[in-house]
């Protein structure tokens, strides 16, 4: 994270809104957790602008979208997690921090038709009349847009300008810090080759899932997978192709499970899947579907290799087969090796 992001912000004494700017700066640069920071951004922007509602739209460049990551304001809750194409955004729609800090620049709110989100789905106690899209930029890069919704029709922005300028400026600093911290954490729990969660994180998730399942009386299932004859791929095609196969296999697994399921690379050509709130009968169905999907899949098609690979699977469940993370992994691993040492390309179930 940048050192200037946590330094004491410099605010000129006596400048319009200097007192508010100092408080805003301290609040937004002291928070390193993304979700609480977004709530602070919304709260401060809405408070100082006296807006009906406020929402933060994060820029997700890889997906080409703006995602509404946080909302505050009665009647506007449905905006949460809405998305819009990044291509819809134009600089003409945005109010920049430097514009707000320029007393000679005439700024007005915009008609509701310019909204990046479907405001017709919102029903605040007072009907909405206009909006303002505030840009949060850091070193020239747009990180987010704070969309403020007002009751009045388009009108000039006056007293809120210094505070909103501080929200934009220091909000961008805080947001960059929080995003970088989250990325560092993600790297620490992710596998470099496949992008899946790693073994270290597997045991953390298992601990949490066991506590949750014990509390609510749930069962869950755990699958352990190993690619059959994967050494031949490396021997015949090289380790670069082998790594591509592992990445493709990880993506294939991820595409076959639910959003609440967890996929891990355990190490080498071994993978694991945690299926929350799933008993053995349903987990068996999932496992058989995975086996068939892997059988039918052609790997490395882009390079016209069209490799066909199978997998050996082991299944164990909490609490039937084990009540501790290490025990559960060991039991599923034992089942997998039963298949690995006999037929391969099949499933063995504990119990």
Instruction: Specify whether 160 is located in the same domain as 215.
Output: no
The answer, yes or no, to whether residue 12 has pLDDT greater than 70, is no
Question: Does residue 192 lie within any of the structural domains?
Answer: no
Structure tokens at 11: 């605010």
Instruction: Specify whether 341 is located in the same domain as 269.
Output: yes
Q: What confidence tens digit (pLDDT) does each residue in 62-102 have? A: 899 999 999 999 999 999 989 999 999 998 899 999 989 88
Domain boundary among 154, 187, 220: 187
Instruction: Specify whether 135 is located in the same domain as 174.
Output: yes
pTM (predicted TM-score): 0.61
* pLDDT, mean of residues 344-348: 97
CA-to-CA dists, residue 293 to 179, 219, 309, angstroms: 36, 26, 10
Instruction: Specify whether 132 is located in the same domain as 214.
Output: no
Instruction: Specify whether 225 is located in the same domain as 310.
Output: yes
Question: Does residue 193 lie within any of the structural domains?
Answer: no
Euclidean distance between CA atoms 105 and 31, whole angstroms: 31
Question: Does residue 48 lie within any of the structural domains?
Answer: yes
Are 108 and 125 in contact, with CB atoms under 8 Å apart?
no
pLDDT-based confidence at residue 105 (cuts at 50, 70, 90)? confident
Are 48 and 32 in contact, with CB atoms under 8 Å apart?
no
Question: How many distinct structural domains can be found in the chain?
Answer: 2
Q: What is the CATH number of the domain that holds 229?
A: 3.30.70.270
Q: Could you tell me the residue range of the domain that residue 7 belongs to?
A: 3-187
Q: What is the CATH number of the domain that holds 171?
A: 3.30.450.40
Q: What confidence tens digit (pLDDT) does each residue in 282-332 have? A: 999 999 999 999 999 999 998 889 999 999 999 999 999 999 999 999 999
Question: Does residue 238 lie within any of the structural domains?
Answer: yes
Determine the pLDDT at residue 183.
83
CA-to-CA dists, residue 145 to 55, 95, 324, angstroms: 8, 9, 45
Q: What confidence tens digit (pLDDT) does each residue in 229-260 have? A: 999 999 999 999 999 999 999 999 999 999 89
Report the percent of the chain where pLDDT is more than 90: 79
Instruction: Specify whether 148 is located in the same domain as 28.
Output: yes
Domain boundary among 137, 167, 187: 187
Question: By three-state DSSP, how is residue 190 classified?
Answer: strand
Could you tell me the sign of the dihedral formed by the alpha carbons of 330, 281, 194, 324, in that order? negative
């Amino acid at each position: 994270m940048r050192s200037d992001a946590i330094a004491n912000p410099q605010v000129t004494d006596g400048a319009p809104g200097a007192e508010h700017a100092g408080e805003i700066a301290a609040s937004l640069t002291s928070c390193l957790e993304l979700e609480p920071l977004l709530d602070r951004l919304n709260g401060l922007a809405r408070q100082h602008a006296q807006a009906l509602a406020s929402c933060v739209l994060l820029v997700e460049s890889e997906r080409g979208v703006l995602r509404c990551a946080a909302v505050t304001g009665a009647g506007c809750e449905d905006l949460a997690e809405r998305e819009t194409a990044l291509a819809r955004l134009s600089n003409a729609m945005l109010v920049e921090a430097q514009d707000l800090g320029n007393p000679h620049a005439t700024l007005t709110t915009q008609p509701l038709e310019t909204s990046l989100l479907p405001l017709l789905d919102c029903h605040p106690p007072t009907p909405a009349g206009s909006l303002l899209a505030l840009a949060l930029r850091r070193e020239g890069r747009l990180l987010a847009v704070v969309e403020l919704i007002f009751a009045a029709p388009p009108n000039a922005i006056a007293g809120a300008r210094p505070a909103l300028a501080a929200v934009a400026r220091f909000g961008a600093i805080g947001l960059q810090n929080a995003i970088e911290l989250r990325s560092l954490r993600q790297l620490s729990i992710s596998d470099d080759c496949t992008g899946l969660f790693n073994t270290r994180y597997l045991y953390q998730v298992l601990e949490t899932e066991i506590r949750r399942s014990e509390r609510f009386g749930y069962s869950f299932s755990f699958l352990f997978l190993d690619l059959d004859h994967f050494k031949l791929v490396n021997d015949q095609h090289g380790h670069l192709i082998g790594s591509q196969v592992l990445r493709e296999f990880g993506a294939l697994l991820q595409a076959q499970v639910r959003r609440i399921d967890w996929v891990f690379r355990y190490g080498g050509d071994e993978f694991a899947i945690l299926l929350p709130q799933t008993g053995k009968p349903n987990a068996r169905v999932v496992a058989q579907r995975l086996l068939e999907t892997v059988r039918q899949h052609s790997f490395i098609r882009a390079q016209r290799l069209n490799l066909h690979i199978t997998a050996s699977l082991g299944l164990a469940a909490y609490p039937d087969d084990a009540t501790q993370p290490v025990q559960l992994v060991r039991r599923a691993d034992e089942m997998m090796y039963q298949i690995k040492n006999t037929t391969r390309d099949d499933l063995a179930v504990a119990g």
